[in-house]
Amino acid sequence: MTNTTNQEKSETRLAAVKALYAQAMNHDLTANQAVTDILTYYHQVPHDILPNPDSLRGLVSGTREHAENLDLLITKHLAQGWKLDRLDNVIRIILEAACFELAHYRDIDTSIILNDYIDITKCFGQDKDAQFVNGILDNIAKDLRPMEQEQ
């Protein structure tokens, strides 16, 4: 992610989840169109903090580009017998975006990524959803960033 404030990064993550969800619901919508729609919304409706457009585009396009590998990674960490299609779409999208950041944005602390996506989950779901996302992401982070876990 480009150099932005923590609040802007958090807002960018939330906007990315919204754009990814919109794209999942409308398969004709490209990643670029989804980002443009979200940015238009942010400029039409007053917000104290706006997402960073470059970071948003990178997060959405990267998550979509690597979706197949991200889904395999997530599936590996689901409870035995669970399949990805059992997850609610927004939960799957949150996990994909978080996993993309864990794998590709090594300069961002794991705890910051996990905390933001757990907070995003709370916006869309219930406490049990946030606990579920926390458990999955914690295990994935241990696999993707073992050196960080040892510190």
Full pLDDT tens readout for the chain, 151 residues:
545 688 999 999 999 999 999 999 999 999 999 999 999 999 999 888 999 999 999 999 999 999 999 999 999 999 888 888 899 999 999 999 999 999 999 999 999 999 999 999 999 988 899 999 999 999 999 999 987 755 5
Q: Report the largest interatomic distance among the alpha carbons of the chain, rounded to a whole angstrom.
A: 45
**pTM (2 d.p.):** 0.92
Give the total number of structural domains in the chain.
1
Residue 14 falls within a domain, yes or no?
yes
CATH code of the domain containing 83 = 1.10.940.10
Per the structure, the complete domain to which residue 103 belongs is given by 6-145
Residue 87 falls within a domain, yes or no?
yes
Identity (one letter) of the amino acid at 14? L
Closest CA to 64 of 22, 125, 111, 106: 22
Residue 128 falls within a domain, yes or no?
yes
